[in-house]
Amino acid sequence: MAVVRGRLAPAYPAGLCAFSVYLRGYHGALAEWLGASARRRLPLADRYALLHWHNQVYPREVLGLVDIAALENGELGPLLSPGTLRGLEDECVTDVKAQTRAALLRVLQEDEEHWGSLEDQPSSLAQDVCELLEEHTERAPRISQEFGERMAHCCLGGLAEFLQSFQQRVERFHENPVVRELLPDTYISKTIALVNCGPPLRALAERLARVGPPESEPAREASASALDHVTRLCHRVLADLLFQELQPHFNKLMRRKWLSSPEALDGIVGTLGAQALALRRMQDEPYQALVAELHRRALVEYVRPLLRGRLRCSSARTRSRVAGRLREDAAQLQRLFRRLESQASWLDAVVPHLAEVLQLEDTPSIQVEVGVLVRDYPDIRRKHVAALLDIRGLRNTAARQEILAVARDLELSEEGALSPPRDRAFFADIPVPRPSFCLGLPLLLGRLPLSRLARPSLACLPRPRPPTLVRPRAQR
């Protein structure tokens, strides 16, 4: 066409519009050839090429060289009708859906075969999935924006289906007793590799949802849900393995030796610090979530034996010693988790608050501290506060009522409020023994008839085991 315009058309009289005649003939021949090609069952790659040439190459590299005025007000018309173009796009979407489904299941099967092996091979599952889908999601928008949106929606649906299969296979992997008999380091490495699939696949789902139409949102939510489930499962497995190793150290807390020896906490801090080196192979987002959960769970396991009454304070001096040790341990744990880059700073104050309740002497100050504790940790209940008062040896009924009333009033003010999310739960994970009869009786006064209070049944009285009394050391 460039040669016709530059050399041949000038040889004709201007009134004949020779270039327009040649252009219409060229355009008509192309339309006929493309229409015949579109009616054939072309391979996917050829349909991509035909659509790209029709939508991008021909307008840019052929018609772009032609003076628009010479086209006689656009009388050329389209090479292919809108219906034909839509049919080609439909065929592409159908083929991509079928081919990617088969390819994704194949790479999942190949990767799964290595999960139970003793060899610590790096996984390329997430990279393979991204490459399979991005081949189409990057090619379609070059043809047209609308086609790019349709392809993104198609690939996002395929990704959501794949991730549901991935979730099911990860569940089977962790339920398999043979797998749990692997060497611990190998099992941990495999689990970390599964977690590391999450961030790139989540990012891919987010990109496809942004490009796709609004109806892509359910597929994005399904993808995110499957990845969240896999991450939580793997985190729970890793945390359970770690706390099985830590449990002997936690069993030594809140005993007489704990007051005078840092052995138990040193064991906890040393084990957590060593295991964190392996966890650093996890990508940043899931690592932060796991370390925050380890932080929360470590503090829960630390506070649990305290509130279960493993020790009782028999004097102000003992309370001071216990409170001081609690603060020292809290500071050491805080330094550890800062080094591990935990973002769960809301946990740092819980043990110091408990220490303050133990050491404070006057009731109003204790009430204020309990109020702060309930405000910062809304899942604490009166039974937890009562257990803390038992530990500090507070037997004065009036004082106990005044302090417990603070927790009761805040509980009542929050009735109907939503419970804190699972990752912000703390005291809800710490059951405490049933309070003794004398603790609950004052709170019942005014609610029950005196005839019922006159002769309480002996059968309803609990039979607590005698607590371990931590007595102050004799003065020399």
pLDDT tops 80 at residue 372: yes
Residue 241 domain-assigned (yes or no): no
Model pLDDT for residues 184-237, shown as the tens digit of each residue: 788 899 999 999 999 999 999 999 999 999 999 999 999 999 999 999 999 999
Same-domain pairing of 357 and 412? yes
pTM: 0.81
Higher pLDDT, 151 or 460: 151
Identify the DSSP state of 455.
S
| Long-range CB contacts for residues 61-68, cutoff 8 Å, separation at least 24 | 62/1, 65/1, 65/2, 65/5, 66/1, 66/5, 66/23, 67/5
Same-domain pairing of 63 and 95? no
Same-domain pairing of 16 and 136? no
Same-domain pairing of 119 and 183? yes
Mean pLDDT, range 24-31, rounded to an integer: 90
Task: Print the domain residue range for 197.
Answer: 88-232
pLDDT tops 80 at residue 33: yes
Same-domain pairing of 46 and 172? no
Residue 333 domain-assigned (yes or no): yes
Copy the structure tokens of residue 299. 């503090």
Same-domain pairing of 23 and 92? no
Same-domain pairing of 384 and 416? yes
Same-domain pairing of 49 and 173? no
Model pLDDT for residues 137-163, shown as the tens digit of each residue: 999 999 999 999 999 999 999 999 999
What is the structure's pLDDT at 169? Answer: 96
Residue 459 domain-assigned (yes or no): no
Residue 119 has a CB neighbour count (10 Å cut-off) of 6
Residue 375 domain-assigned (yes or no): yes
Tell me how far apart the alpha carbons of residues 243 and 271 are, in angstroms, rounded to a whole number.
10
CA–chain centroid gap for 222, Å, is 14
| Residue 381, φ and ψ in degrees, nearest 5 | -125, 170
What is the structure's pLDDT at 53? Answer: 93
pLDDT grade, residue 453 (50/70/90)? very low
Query: Are 100 and 133 in contact, with CB atoms under 8 Å apart?
Result: yes
Tell me how far apart the alpha carbons of residues 292 and 108 are, in angstroms, rounded to a whole number.
30
The DSSP result for 67-107, as a single string, is -GGGGTTTTT--SS-HHHHHHHHHHHHHHHHHHHHHHHHHH
Q: Provide the strand spans (E) within 319-438.
A: none
Same-domain pairing of 161 and 76? no
In a 3-state reduction of DSSP, which class is residue 168? helix
Domain boundary among 424, 440, 468: 424
What is the structure's pLDDT at 29? Answer: 93
Model pLDDT for residues 287-316, shown as the tens digit of each residue: 999 999 999 999 999 999 999 988 888 889
Q: Provide the strand spans (E) within 231-386.
A: 312-313
Tell me how far apart the alpha carbons of residues 434 and 457 are, in angstroms, rounded to a whole number.
17
Same-domain pairing of 93 and 210? yes
Same-domain pairing of 257 and 163? no
Higher pLDDT, 16 or 139: 139
What is the structure's pLDDT at 67? Answer: 59
Distance in Å from the first CA to the final CA of the chain: 112
In a 3-state reduction of DSSP, which class is residue 194? helix
Copy the structure tokens of residue 403. 């302090």
H helix intervals, 176-216? 177-180, 184-196, 198-211
State whether the Cα torsion 257-261-263-268 is positive or negative.
positive
Which CATH number covers residue 393?
A: 1.10.357.70
What is the structure's pLDDT at 460? Answer: 36
Query: What's the mean pLDDT when you consider all of the chain?
Result: 85
What is the structure's pLDDT at 422? Answer: 65
In a 3-state reduction of DSSP, which class is residue 285? helix
Residue 5 domain-assigned (yes or no): yes
Tell me how far apart the alpha carbons of residues 63 and 216 are, in angstroms, rounded to a whole number.
36
Residue 449 domain-assigned (yes or no): no
What is the structure's pLDDT at 354? Answer: 95
Residue 299 domain-assigned (yes or no): yes
Model pLDDT for residues 392-446, shown as the tens digit of each residue: 888 889 999 999 998 888 777 766 555 666 667 899 999 987 654 344 433 333 3
Residue 128 domain-assigned (yes or no): yes
Copy the structure tokens of residue 330. 């809290």
Domain boundary among 62, 80, 98: 80
Q: How many domains does the chain have?
A: 3
Domain boundary among 379, 398, 424: 424
Same-domain pairing of 59 and 129? no
State whether the Cα torsion 350-355-360-361 is positive or negative.
positive
Model pLDDT for residues 69-109, shown as the tens digit of each residue: 455 555 677 889 999 999 999 999 999 999 999 999 999 99
In a 3-state reduction of DSSP, which class is residue 456? coil
